[in-house]
């Protein structure tokens, strides 16, 4: 069994969440690249977009502004939080 499909009695199950995650990953890599190429701080610009919903936080360079609008903000936030939490697995909480 891998991350993309699961087998159950010969039936292949498609993982929609993995497909969505890969699509968001591709879009965010392209947006990150465009922001860096234009000299912007990608974290600040993406946070500004997520908080406000205003696509002008994202440069139009490389069609990044058009791309960010293809991802729902709640889906983007969900993916970011999921990846952050996944990165914490196996680490001890600091007190």
pLDDT tens for each residue of 6-34: 555 677 665 667 888 899 999 999 999 99
pTM of the model: 0.75
Q: Which residue has the tokens 């499909």?
A: 5
CA dist 6 and 45 (Å) reads 37
Q: Each residue of 39-53: b (16+ CB within 10 Å) or e?
A: ebeeeebbeebeeee
Q: Which residues pair with 6 in a beta bridge?
A: 13
Look up residue 69 and give its two tokens.
């609008």
CA dist 52 and 54 (Å) reads 5
Model confidence at 5, pLDDT cuts 50, 70, 90, reads low
Residue 2 has pLDDT above 90, yes or no: no
């Amino acid at each position: 069994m891998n991350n993309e499909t699961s087998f159950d009695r010969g039936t292949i199950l498609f993982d929609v969440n993995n497909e969505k995650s890969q699509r968001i990953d591709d879009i965010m890599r392209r947006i990150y690249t465009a922001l860096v190429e234009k000299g912007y701080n990608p974290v600040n610009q993406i946070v500004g977009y997520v908080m406000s919903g205003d696509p002008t936080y994202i440069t139009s360079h490389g069609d990044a502004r058009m791309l960010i609008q293809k991802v729902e903000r709640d889906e983007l936030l969900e993916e970011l939080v999921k990846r952050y939490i996944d990165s914490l697995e196996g680490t001890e909480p600091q007190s």
